Chain A
Amino acid sequence: MSFDLDLFSTSVIHAGLSADPATGALLTPIYQSTTYLQEAVGVHKGFTYSRADNPTVAALERALGALEGTPPAVCFATGMAAISALFLSILKSGDHAVISDVVYGGTVRLFQQILNGVGISASFVDTSRPEEVERAVTPETRIVFIETPANPTLKLTDIAAIARVTKRAGILLAVDNTFLTPVLQRPLELGADISVLSTTKYIEGHNATVGGSIATKDQALIDRLRLVRKTLGCIQSPLESWITLRGLKTLPVRMQRHSENAATVARWLEQHPSVERVYYPGLESFPQKELADRQQALPGGMLSFELRGGTEVGIAVMNSVKLCALAENLGAVETLITHPASMTHADVPAETRAAIGISDGLVRLSVGLENPRDLIADLDEAFRAAASRSKASQQAGTERRDACAAAD
């Protein structure tokens, strides 16, 4: 990839932020205030009520906008609030969206259990194949929404190629850039219209708060998003924006380290006899490595893998780790291990999961900032424990069978 993520090391600390004019406070105060005194009716500094706008939220929005290369972003209480507001800003009853088939389960749930009730439909297609996207677009389609790398199989979509399709069709392209963030992948520079982030993940990076953001250069869309946000009431709280802003300052160095660590762990997993397959954009074996190298500055901190022995062994491993935390979330300083089939993608129907490669044995790993040697030791131990447990239960199974055979 042509850009150096260190380009952003300065702007994440300084862009959009200046010392408080009244006191010189280096950091934006937490404006934990619902309302603002107006000088006269209709005369104010742009802030009237914190559901609409808040100075601390605005500081985060400016900083994210600077990072994305857009006007200030629009920040929400959660990633799902951001995604919901995005679709409600663009789609009306009868409209249609084309979405990556491998996508966060919450996005699927939004369409299949909520938006369908107001006449909005979606097709989930393999967006790694642009011709599939083209085929899925109808006269009612208003937007294509992709995740790349996709959660949890790491399947990539060629953003520039899809952008060509959407531009020809005169529709919008949104990219959920949560797994990489704008320091590792810049969708708007590749032709996308909208960049979506769950700031809960790498942006805040410390498991401290949920949040979401939408960035775009389209001012009309920005205005519409703010109206929808004000109406639904899903703005991020001042304290949470402040906490997120704090995390943003170390984003480039964290992403660099996450990616280095993930590469080390992925290489180790790949050669381990217990591991059937590893999905990681940095491995030579990754089917879309060429696209990863072209589209991303680094492979990132996320990987997933399948164990020999499938579901039972996968679950046994996840139950045996001590250093890796068995928990939802990703993109945090602590390493997190997750079982998509029962956790993040439980709301995706089982047949669909199987069709898109989310097997019951798939394990997702969000590699943190610990020393990778310690992570490898933890996984190694967990593999051993799982293998001996499985051997023991196989043994028990054999003994039971033998006993039954003898009893017959």
Chain B
Amino acid sequence: MEKRRAAVTGIGVVSPLGNSASELYRALVENRSGIRAMTEWHDEFGRDIAGAPVKLDPAVVKQISRKVRRTMGNTALFAGLAAQEAVAQSGLDPAVFTSGRVGCIIGSTVGSPSSMTEACVAEYEGRRNDLSACHFFRIMSHSASFNVADMFGINGPQLSTNSACASGLQALGAALELIQLGKVDAVLAGGADESTPLVSSSFQLLYALAEEESPEPERLSRPFDAARTGLVCGEGAGILVVEEMEHARKRGARILFEIAGYATNCSGWHVSHSDELQIANCMRNALADAGVTPGEVDYVSAHATGTKVGDAAEAAACRAVFGSEVPVSSLKGHLGHTLGASGSLELAAVYGMMRDGIVLPTRNLEQVEDCAGILLPREIREQKVRICVKNSIAFGGVNASLVCRSAD
């Protein structure tokens, strides 16, 4: 039996480079950076480390009803705002959401680290009774997913793919599979995460953070570069409307691109060390799922965060699967690492590349040493992007790869 196909009909973004998919893409094309010195974290770190924060307009936030907003930490809030944009673009009839045939799958590393910290401080200070009845709902691992489902009245499957930095891509993969299985007609899917001192310090502890104070913080996130020293934490959300292809066509929806294949796996041996063999296997499995050969791939949107070990492993995996002819780039030089949001958020930019026939380069990539042997563009490259692979790699040894096909 032929597999049901999944189309993307809406994309929404909250990011360090703007709170819409178009703002993000424009900023990336202009080679702007969302990274700055986090002066507001100076007391926690004893210096101004780099970060890539989101800036929200309180008036826009307040447009979400209080009864939904009260259980939202920033992670869920980012997801909710991104979902609004995606749904608006899709043109889906609101009545569809309550049909039981629409799902909501949103993942994050933690429900809301800022809310978790607030609860811990209240506990430590003996103020447990001061916590709101809504507080735990902000911390719960599936907070973004159920809050977004409530925003739209979605009453189909609600799942949360909490696999740290692979959360967003796993959510899209799960959406594809639910559609293929015929269990839903559409899914709001993606990832979201917020950055706090607790999150950045978790990477700092592992020597995985670009933690030096720099007069040029926007140059600290350097995926694939010889001088990379670690990642810069970002935050945001990328939410997509993933819709069964015929369902989308019948209602005359604009198909932005197709999610054609997906795979996820894990290394099974180390929680933080990237495994190039399993990353390569994951990409190969996703290609097989899509019925695509490595030679047909036009672009790989890498996970590459700027860590020494992680980037080298992913570069080696890309070299093993694609050789040296397929362009590979990471958007984390511009955006920092938006964690569980990164996979789905960066796909918003990948869509722009497919539409405009360009490949965006990796910002701050100047000198390649240990990541050599793959094609790493240093400037915007004009070329057709019909088929692309998007990778996410996460703590826990988790890998996820999505194969996307342009709508042309």
Question: Are A and B bound to each other?
Answer: no
